[in-house]
Amino acid sequence: MTRVGIIGIGHGQFGRRSDATVQELAFEAFREAIQDAQIDPKDIDGTVIGSVPEYHKQRSLPGVVQEYLNLNPTPTWLTEVACASGSAAIRTAWMGIRSGAHRLMAVIGCQKMTELSTPEILALMGRVGEVQWESIFGTTFPAYYAMFAQSHMHEYGTTREQLLLVAVKNHFYGAKNPNALFRKEITIEKALASDPVSDPFQVYDCCANADGAACVILASEEIAKESSKPVAWLDGVGCATASMSVLRRPSLTGLPSAETAALTAYEMAGVGPKDIKVAEVHDCFTIAEIMAYEDLGFCEKGAGGRFIEDKQSYIGGQTPVNVDGGLKAKGHPIGATG
């Protein structure tokens, strides 16, 4: 089987994009990616769209994006796995090229989170959780992750200050990212003074929805070796699932699916956690990043709070994490970031 490499990347502006449709957002990222890869889009033999179409007025998203990008009749697929849609789209294309069925594929994550009203968005997000036994009683995602945070604080002594230090770090790096939604630094004092959301969370513990798109161009080893630019090889890819219901999870202090996926990827690539030079993790809430430190093996279980307090996830620390600002500062257009 062929190796798969990333030969081009594109990233649009995240924010409240009333100036662009979801197709136009996709085009922004796609155009930048093909220019970065220095390829002719006519050579692309497949595309994968990562998105959650329910958030759009346009339901059948891959077809309209494909047409707008002038890629017909090239085949296209949609991957929708809630907040993992973007990474799932990359894995789908990776499998397509690795198997030999495709040689050059575009993966486009695109999401327009502001087309629907706030009540409509909240209703949709409420149904992402386990509807039969949990969401029906009003459980929201801030409440889910607040339970994780409370459990982590109870079991390991993690503090509110340590949680909010994640936000301080991510806003520090978001201020340097021209594509980020929030481009201002914050202090721990400002974060601690913000309004409550779901105990122990405050406003700065939570990411913000946004419109935006991102794109990567994946190529077979044969094509990638022709690139005049450095290639990022996808030598280790892992994925896993876990119970949707928190009632059936053995612990609320970590995400077992993330741990399993990481172990799979490490083994495939022949590396370990200490070999990782930089990481992008899901930080929809501050506790999510702290749990990721632990689940990915960057520190021991329960040590995530100290990891951020000691600035080990900053550039210059042990493992820099989310140095683009993460979801917390960059914004969270689900298909483009998950």
Q: How far apart are CA 310 and CA 273, in angstroms?
A: 18
Alpha carbon distance 210, 330 (integer Å): 9
Residue 11 a catalytic site member:
no
Dist CA 181 CA 211 (whole Å): 9
Whole-angstrom CA distances from 325 to 168, 180, 185, 206, 284 are: 10, 7, 10, 13, 12
Whether residue 109 contacts residue 223, with contact meaning beta carbons closer than 8 Å, is answered with no
The one catalytic residue in 11, 83, 110, 207 is 83
Map residue 119 onto helix, strand or coil.
helix
Task: Annotate 189-201 with DSSP letters as a single string.
Answer: HHHHTSPEEETTE
Pairwise CA distance, residues 2 & 221, whole Å: 6
DSSP 8-class letter at 211: B
The residue from 11, 102, 152, 332 that is catalytic is: 332
CA dist 233 to 57, 98, 187, Å?
Answer: 36, 12, 37
Whether 332 is catalytic: yes
By annotation, the residues acting in catalysis are 83, 332
